[in-house]
């Protein structure tokens, strides 16, 4: 028994060493020893006027990916949708940009700032499996919190009164029937929605059903609104779906397929590959979109590189690509229990 107890202690100590020592080295020694090798790309945005990505450099400088240096004033003028307030203050905001009439209000209305982290993906985090559906056509101007929550069961949708905890049979049947009528196959495979009442409008939930077909479900004047989203290419199998709810209403949402190709869902429910087929794995990568009425800069952070794509906001075609691989990986492998990509606590060796 003594031998077994000592073996157990040995295993525990060994695990603690491969957990703590790499952690100490990676957190404290790496920044001293390899300070210049770590850290990602500086802030990078695509300029449609210069037709290149422009980065902030140390101090006040700006530099194009082509190597060209810009003064701060030049960079402000080349990125007028981002530095709008600065240009307005200096009286340098033009009336038209690339032939399109602009105003500070229009720029504010059409700018996009969208972040999606890997841990936002449902498979990368625990879910309580209750969701909130807002009234998308509220009587007052602002969106209001609902008084019920819903859950998907294996053969329907259930609304539960949040004050009493009782299921609302009438509303549940109404929404289940509306989904079934449109061909929805229960149980739901994937869904996404944003129940934040501070947003400007509500697109409800985007759903992928058990047959991997996409739907939009929202509540309009208390009634269910269900719309099937058809794919022109039947070979595409949706995997993840995201509601975007941009202020400009330029998209219904986005989706990725089994091959991690990123698509946009347009306001008239067309599904188009973004940038001709940008790859984005929502379980392994973080995505940031900063866009304006003419072009979007998409940054996808993978394990190997930071990928920047410039995409036309008008037809979603690819304009420019910049892939910045990480210079080296100075981190020691070891035992970890948590990751930045997900919310699970479990042992993993990397």
Q: Which residues bind other proteins (CB under 8 A)?
A: 1-2, 4-6, 8-9, 12-13, 16, 19-20, 125-132, 145-147, 149, 151, 160, 162-165, 195-196, 337-338, 343-347
Distance CA 224, CA 174 (A): 7
**What minimum distance in Å lies between the beta carbon of 148 and other proteins?**
8
**What minimum distance in Å lies between the beta carbon of 63 and other proteins?**
39
Please check whether residue 224 is in contact with residue 175, taking contact to mean a CB–CB distance below 8 angstroms: yes
**What minimum distance in Å lies between the beta carbon of 33 and other proteins?**
24
Closer residue to other proteins (CB): 195 or 273:
195
Closer residue to other proteins (CB): 91 or 126:
126
Please report, to the nearest 10 degrees, the dihedral formed by the alpha carbons of residues 219, 220, 226, 232 taken in order. -120
Judged by DSSP in three states, 179 sits in helix
Radius of gyration of the chain (CA): 24
Please check whether residue 318 is in contact with residue 276, taking contact to mean a CB–CB distance below 8 angstroms: yes
Closer residue to other proteins (CB): 64 or 156:
156
Closer residue to other proteins (CB): 69 or 196:
196
Distance CA 219, CA 215 (A): 13
Closer residue to other proteins (CB): 29 or 130:
130
Distance CA 138, CA 218 (A): 12
**What minimum distance in Å lies between the beta carbon of 107 and other proteins?**
31
Looking at the chain, list the stretches that DSSP marks H as alpha helix, in order from N- to C-terminal side: 2-24, 30-33, 72-78, 84-89, 104-110, 169-181
**What minimum distance in Å lies between the beta carbon of 12 and other proteins?**
7
Closer residue to other proteins (CB): 91 or 165:
165
**What minimum distance in Å lies between the beta carbon of 287 and other proteins?**
20
* Neighbour tally for 24: CB within 10 Å: 12
């Amino acid at each position: 028994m003594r031998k077994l107890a000592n073996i157990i202690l040995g295993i525990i100590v060994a695990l603690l060493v491969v957990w703590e020592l790499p952690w100490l080295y990676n957190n404290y020694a790496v920044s001293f020893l390899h300070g210049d090798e770590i850290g990602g790309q500086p802030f990078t945005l695509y300029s449609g006027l210069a037709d290149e990505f422009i980065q902030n450099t140390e101090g006040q400088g700006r530099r194009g990916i082509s190597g060209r240096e810009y003064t701060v004033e030049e960079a402000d003028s080349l990125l007028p949708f981002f530095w709008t307030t600065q240009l307005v203050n200096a009286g340098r905001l033009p009336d038209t940009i690339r032939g399109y009439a602009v105003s500070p209000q229009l720029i504010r209305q059409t700018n996009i700032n969208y972040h999606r982290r890997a841990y936002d993906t449902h498979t990368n985090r625990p879910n309580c499996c209750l969701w909130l559906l807002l009234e998308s056509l509220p009587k007052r101007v602002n969106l209001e919190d609902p008084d019920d929550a819903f859950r998907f069961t294996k053969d329907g949708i259930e609304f539960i009164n949040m004050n009493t905890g009782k299921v609302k049979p009438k509303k549940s049947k109404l929404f289940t029937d509306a989904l079934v009528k449109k061909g929805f196959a229960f149980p739901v495979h994937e869904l996404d929605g944003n129940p934040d009442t501070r947003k400007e409008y509500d697109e409800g939930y985007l759903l992928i059903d058990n047959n991997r077909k996409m739907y939009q479900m929202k509540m309009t004047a208390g009634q269910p609104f269900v719309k099937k989203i058809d794919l022109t290419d039947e070979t595409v199998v949706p995997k993840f779906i995201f509601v975007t709810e941009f202020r400009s209403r330029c998209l219904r949402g986005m989706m990725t397929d089994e091959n991690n190709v990123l698509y946009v869902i347009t306001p008239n429910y067309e599904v188009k590959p973004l940038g001709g087929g940008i790859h984005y794995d929502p379980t392994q990568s973080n995505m940031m979109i900063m866009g304006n009425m003419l072009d979007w800069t998409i940054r996808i952070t993978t394990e190997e590189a930071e990928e920047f794509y410039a995409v036309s906001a008008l037809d979603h075609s690819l304009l420019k690509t910049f892939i910045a691989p990480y210079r080296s990986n100075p981190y020691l492998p070891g035992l970890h229990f948590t990751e930045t990509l997900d919310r699970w606590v479990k042992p993993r060796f990397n």
